[in-house]
Amino acid sequence: MKVCCIILARGGSKGLKNKNILDVCGKPLLAYTIEASLSSKNIDRTIVSTDSKKIAEVAERYGAEVPFLRPSLLSNDSATSEVALQHALIWLEDNEQYYPDIIVYLQPTDLFRTIDMIENCVDELIADSNLDSVFVGHVTHKNFWKIDSYGKFQPLNDENYSHLPRQEKPMILREDTGLALATRSKVIHGGSRIGKNVKILPYESETNFVDIHSQFDLDLTKVLIKDFKKSPNKEI
């Protein structure tokens, strides 16, 4: 199967200006995610979708392809990841006659993944033709609540188990597609990032709270790398 990684890295980030190319311990932020894709044995192509020439130059310097610049209409604050992925896939099909079977989605702001996470997602999707998408999910045993349509608070956890000790509670999984998601091209064509029939690969980590969108997040990431010796693409 043809497996293509598409990394979305627009230039107009508001919370942290130019975050995708800011220095993180000697490399641009984006470089870590490009390296993760290039290190995966089952990814054929690594493509960065961006509207920024600066980001495109950085992406190419670290080994990614940037065959197009994303239209500004698909790069503003209201543009969704789903629309940007769909644009990239259609562009590749129309302009290069390249038809990948599987799209891997990795988010540059999530650094603390392992290469195994990516490869396991792709392998599981290839192995089971009934699956639409496979992604990693962070395991939590805390109790969660939501507000229903009537304004009432309702538990998300099974009430029969919420009183149990942490070790005995059934786990709840937080979707972490930014770390690793493999999904079929037909799902992207349908305007979604995740299909209906999914498999989630659970993981636990000391660094799973890091998703870089502010100066604090960036500073914290540098501390984890420098002082705690956590290595992106190797340590979670």
Q: Tell me the mean pLDDT per 10 residues along the chain, length 236.
A: 97 87 97 98 97 97 98 89 97 98 97 96 98 96 90 86 70 94 98 98 91 95 95 87
**Residue 80 — φ and ψ, nearest 5°?**
-90, 160
Q: What is the pLDDT of residue 168?
A: 73
Q: What is the pLDDT of residue 236?
A: 78
Strand partners, 233: 114
Q: What is the pLDDT of residue 95?
A: 98
Q: Which two tokens stand for residue 116?
A: 């195994």
Query: What predicted TM-score, i.e. pTM, was given to this entire model?
Result: 0.93
Q: What is the pLDDT of residue 171?
A: 83
Q: Which two tokens stand for residue 216?
A: 């604090």
Distance CA 84, CA 75 (A): 8
Distance CA 135, CA 194 (A): 9
Domains and CATH numbers, the chain: 3-138+174-226 (3.90.550.10)
State the maximum Cα–Cα separation within the chain, in Å, rounded to a whole number: 57
Q: Is the alpha carbon torsion for 136, 39, 129, 108 positive or negative?
A: positive
Q: What is the pLDDT of residue 124?
A: 98
